[in-house]
Amino acid sequence: MTETKQKRACVIGHPIGHSRSPIIHNHWLDVLGLEGAYDKRDVAPDDLARFFASMQAEGLVGCNVTVPHKEAAFRIADRRDAAAEAIGAANTIWFEKGELVAGNTDGLGFLANLDQHAPGWDREKGPAIVLGAGGAARAIIHALLDRGFAPVRVVNRTLAKAEAMGIQFGPDVEAWAWEDLDKALMGGAVLVNTTSLGMKGQPDLVITLDNLPATALVTDIVYVPLETSLLAAARKRGHPTVDGLGMLLHQAAPGFAHWFGTMPEVTETLRALILSDMGIADTKD
Ligand code: NAP
């Protein structure tokens, strides 16, 4: 019998039916002509530790981790990368010298998306305004601080969660009440929506941008719809805008590189493939 040498990875979650990660990774395997496979697995929370323990025996070189396993994966891993340590959650798992390593690539994905679609966006540092204080916000606050943006004003419905970000990340992160959003926008260089507001099926994000300097970059990590009402309003005011789909694509790349040994490219072809799967038309350019 011939032993298969094909490298295999997957995405785990519960449920997992919605994940588009297999489309992304199988596209890269295809265009790079690499032997490999990537699929999705529904792993219940009670099975997570057993799944990790059996990965290598199963021939899996790693996996992506999505809801509800991001915090548990972070805890179970033997080691964590610096981003995962800062964020307290993992989205990418790989092996080094037999040890299970947990990483978090959401912040990298966020930055790479802006670098690709708004080159030079970080040349003029200044205040960054982050709407929301959930899991995605934590990765983005970490990324913005890393690029030298300060202060980072975290504006959240539940003020205590914004305050917790300040406690975690230090004095450059300010907690702002949702009622003070207008004031928080003053002098801003970057505005990011990390709340679920504006997503299809969720309430809209109602916000007045009058106090935001005209040069400020506006980005939304919600990508269904691709152009959220925040992005449409910002575009009409002449702000540079970047949609959130690229973050999803770019956060996948470091995991692929760990597992399959090549850093893949996020191309227009890949973007078009995902948009076609989502059944939506591109609004960029
Ligand atoms: P999360 O941890 O549940 O956080 C949700 C955030 O939205 C919290 O700050 C919450 O405020 C706020 N929020 C929810 N409903 C609200 C409302 N009615 N009014 C005001 N604020 C409200 O979620 P997450 O994991 O951070 O994800 C947030 C969004 O980002 C989701 O839409 C997700 O799909 C998207 N996302 C996109 C990418 C990408 O690659 N583009 C990656 C990750 C996440 P409270 O604290 O007051 O509850």
Does the structure show a pLDDT above 90 at 283?
A: no
68 touches ligand 1 (CB under 6 Å): no
Cis geometry, peptide bond prior to residue 151 (ω within 30 degrees of 0): yes
Q: What is the mean pLDDT of residues 95-117?
A: 97
Question: Strands across the sheet with 99-103, in order?
Answer: 37-42, 8-13, 60-65, 92-96, 99-103, 79-80
The pLDDT value recorded for residue 41 is 97
The pLDDT value recorded for residue 117 is 98
Does the structure show a pLDDT above 80 at 76?
A: yes
C-alpha of residue 103 to centroid of ligand 1, in Å? 21
Q: Give 219-243 pLDDT, tens digit per residue.
A: 999 999 999 999 999 999 999 999 9
Query: Distance (Å, rounded) from C-alpha 265 to C-alpha 24?
Result: 11
The pLDDT value recorded for residue 208 is 96
Q: pTM to 2 decimals?
A: 0.96
Task: List the single range of 111-125, 191-205, 270-284 with lowest mean pLDDT.
Answer: 270-284
Among 7, 70, 161, 284, the one annotated catalytic: 70
Does the structure show a pLDDT above 80 at 285?
A: no
Q: Is 70 a catalytic residue?
A: yes
Of the two residues 2 and 51, the one the predictor is more confident about is: 51
Of the two residues 283 and 186, the one the predictor is more confident about is: 186
223 touches ligand 1 (CB under 6 Å): yes
Does the structure show a pLDDT above 80 at 2?
A: no
Measured from the Cα of 157, ligand 1's closest atom is 47
Query: Distance (Å, rounded) from C-alpha 214 to C-alpha 280?
Result: 29
Average pLDDT score, the chain: 96
Give, using CA atoms, the residue closest to atom 16 of ligand 1. Answer: 197
Mutate to test the pocket of ligand 1, among 21, 91, 195, 247 (most ligand atoms within 8 A of CB): 195
Query: Distance (Å, rounded) from C-alpha 248 to C-alpha 274?
Result: 10
Of the two residues 285 and 36, the one the predictor is more confident about is: 36
Q: Give the model's confidence band at 18: pLDDT under 50 very low, under 70 low, under 90 confident, else very high.
A: confident
196 touches ligand 1 (CB under 6 Å): yes
113 touches ligand 1 (CB under 6 Å): no
Does the structure show a pLDDT above 70 at 284?
A: no
217 touches ligand 1 (CB under 6 Å): no
The pLDDT value recorded for residue 253 is 98
